[in-house]
């Protein structure tokens, strides 16, 4: 099982509840008070930067795409320590249920590619009844045999994409993400040294792919949209990666990662 978006964007636009609406820059979502940021396409430099590190250029700014394992671990420490106190951090929707969320966990896996770390994501198969073809982080419900959310995330990653737990060095965690459908998702952040081979679960995972960490860290690559769901106004992030649409819970957790890393 994978934790993806909390509802289908297609369903929302066709079931008569309310259409998906882009929230313009400078406006706020009434339910959450989140200030929206408009996205602008980046201009990527072809040449390497200092010390051979690739660089991404924007008007008036040049930004290095380099974070090593120790830097990530150190920056995650505060987020992990305060996670229980900030259970709603990263949640784009207002809670619509009174019960505690169903415990679930996802793995935010950082693969140490030569140029920079990449985040491992999956695309769900098109014939699934829930969230077909959507982009997800490996993860799912916590099971009785799981000793911790991190253990659940590692188990799910092995079941879904064949990632051996021993390949993952856990660096920390992110604040829990509360979904509008009643899940409380605990993200564990791990570091992977190549080589790595994936073995996707055929009936659930259509593809395993990677997104550069720099893309997630850059706020220009985030769009905040709004939808009315079950009578409530909700905001959620969209990360329009080339050829993919990363949105909902997956995008919210990745934005939470960027926040924890200082972006």
* Residues 156 and 246 sit within 8 Å (Cβ to Cβ): no
CATH number for the domain harbouring residue 102: 3.90.79.10
Instruction: Please count the other Cβ atoms lying within 10 Å of the Cβ belonging to residue 78.
Output: 11
Confidence of residue 184 (pLDDT cuts 50, 70, 90): very high
For 65-69, which contacts have Cβ atoms below 8 Å and span 24 or more sequence positions?
Answer: 65/115, 65/116, 65/212, 65/213, 65/214, 66/116, 67/116, 67/117, 67/213, 67/217, 67/261, 69/110, 69/112, 69/169, 69/171, 69/191
Structure confidence at residue 143 (pLDDT): 97
Query: How far is residue 139 from each of residues 30, 49, 121, 158, 214, measured CA to CA in Å?
Result: 30, 36, 11, 10, 23
Q: Is position 103 within any domain?
A: yes
Tokens of 95: 């809670």
The CA distance from 98 to 119, in Å, is 33
More confident residue, 230 or 183: 183
* Percentage with pLDDT > 90 across the chain: 52
Q: Is position 84 within any domain?
A: yes
The CA distance from 217 to 185, in Å, is 21
Q: pTM, whole model, 2 decimals? A: 0.75
DSSP state of 189: E
Within 63-203, residue ranges assigned H as helices are 69-81, 149-161
Q: Is position 3 within any domain?
A: no
Q: Is position 2 within any domain?
A: no
Q: Give the residue-averaged pLDDT of 213-232.
A: 87
Query: pLDDT digits over 100-119, tens only?
Result: 789 999 999 999 999 899 99
Q: Is position 227 within any domain?
A: yes
* Residues 216 and 12 sit within 8 Å (Cβ to Cβ): no
Q: Is position 160 within any domain?
A: yes
Looking at the DSSP bridge assignments, the partners of residue 13 are none
Residue 9 has pLDDT above 90, yes or no: no
Q: Is position 4 within any domain?
A: no
Structure confidence at residue 131 (pLDDT): 67
Find the helix packing angle between 69-81 and 248-260, rounded to 10°. 100
* Residues 175 and 86 sit within 8 Å (Cβ to Cβ): yes
Which structural domain, as residue segments, surrounds residue 195? 9-260
- Provide the domain count of the chain: 1
Structure confidence at residue 261 (pLDDT): 93
Q: Is position 1 within any domain?
A: no
The CA distance from 145 to 86, in Å, is 26
Q: What is the mean pLDDT of the chain?
A: 75
């Amino acid at each position: 099982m994978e934790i993806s978006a909390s509802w289908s964007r297609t369903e929302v636009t066709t079931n008569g509840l309310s259409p998906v609406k882009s929230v313009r820059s400078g406006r706020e979502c009434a339910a959450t008070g989140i200030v929206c940021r408009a996205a602008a396409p980046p201009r990527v430099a072809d040449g390497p930067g200092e010390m051979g590190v690739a660089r991404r250029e924007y008007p008036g700014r040049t930004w290095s795409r380099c974070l090593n394992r120790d830097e990530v671990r150190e920056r995650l420490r505060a987020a992990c320590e305060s996670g229980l106190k900030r259970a709603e951090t990263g949640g784009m929707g207002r809670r619509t249920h009174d019960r505690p969320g169903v415990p679930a966990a996802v793995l935010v896996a950082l693969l140490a590619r030569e140029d920079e770390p990449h985040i491992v994501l999956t695309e769900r198969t098109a014939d699934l009844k829930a969230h077909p073809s959507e982009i997800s982080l490996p993860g799912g419900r916590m099971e009785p045999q799981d000793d911790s959310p991190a253990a659940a995330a590692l188990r799910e990653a092995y079941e879904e994409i064949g990632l051996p737990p021993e390949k993952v060095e856990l660096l920390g965690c992110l604040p829990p993400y509360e979904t509008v459908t009643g899940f409380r998702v605990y993200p564990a952040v791990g570091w992977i040294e190549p080589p790595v081979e994936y073995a996707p679960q055929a009936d659930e995972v259509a593809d395993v792919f990677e997104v550069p960490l720099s893309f997630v860290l850059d706020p220009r690559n985030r769009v905040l949209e709004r939808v009315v769901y079950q009578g409530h106004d909700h905001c959620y992030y969209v990360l329009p990666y080339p050829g993919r649409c990363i949105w909902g819970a997956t995008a919210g957790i990745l934005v939470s990662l960027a926040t924890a890393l200082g972006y």
